[in-house]
A and B are shown apart, each in its own frame.
Chain A
Amino acid sequence: EVQLLESGGGLVQPGGSLRLSCAASGFTFSSYALSWFRQAPGKGLEWVSGISGNGGFTPYADSVKGRFTISRDNSKNTLYLEMSSLRADDTAVYYCAKDFYYSWYIDWGQGTLVTVSS
């Protein structure tokens, strides 16, 4: 059974930094692309960033480009999202998800809440 468990969310001041983690199990981690998605309170879904199985391809949404960095450690079965220069509009539940077929994501974590506020 695929399991994805996000952690690292919390309250951070504007301009601050935070690192999210997503611990994965139940599949061959290095064989699958992964992505981060987010959902602001009461709003719709937004894709944030993705990473290929070997980490060589890392697209980003324009809204986070230059501020967020996605990475993975295939030896630890863990996905990361390093977030800096955080703004109030980055407040959201952040989900990690596993690709099963050409950027279709069928397995999702339960999400971790990031709140950017002073």
Chain B
Amino acid sequence: DIVLTQSPATLSLSPGERATLSCRASQSISNYLGWFQQKPGQAPRLLIYDASNRATGIPARFSGSGSGTDFTLTISSLEPEDFAVYYCQQRSNWPLTFGGGTKVEIK
């Protein structure tokens, strides 16, 4: 199975700051990497698919990059509603797998 390792586990930032989240795959997954946001008590929300494509309705402050084994989710300027847990997920191989998550918390 492909293992996804996210870092850091927790990111403490203030509104307006830039957030940079990392996801590393245990083997090359081309660009088949996505990012989800999840808030307490809610279902996950797809933000980015195939490394850099924003899903419908996702604000432009969210961007994704990377290919092969190293990927990044960037939130250019944190809004209050962006404080949440973020997961990366790969679709290169079955089974689909997720990273362990990065919590973006208010500093």
A residues adjacent to B (C-beta < 8 A): 35, 37, 44-47, 50, 59-62, 95, 101-106, 108-111
Residue of A with least CB distance to B45:
A108
Interface of B is mostly: loop
How many A-B contacts if CB must be within 8 Å?
A: 49
Contact B95 A45 (CB under 8 A): no
Q: Is B11 an interface residue (CB 8 A)?
A: no
Query: Shortest beta-carbon distance, A17 to chain B, in Å?
Result: 23
Contact A45 B34 (CB under 8 A): no
Residues of A within 8 A of B87 (CB): 44-45
28 CB < 8 A contacts A-B: A35-B96, A37-B44, A44-B87, A44-B99, A44-B101, A45-B36, A45-B38, A45-B87, A45-B101, A47-B89, A47-B97, A47-B98, A59-B94, A59-B95, A95-B43, A95-B44, A101-B49, A102-B91, A103-B96, A104-B46, A104-B50, A104-B91, A105-B46, A106-B46, A106-B55, A108-B43, A108-B44, A108-B45
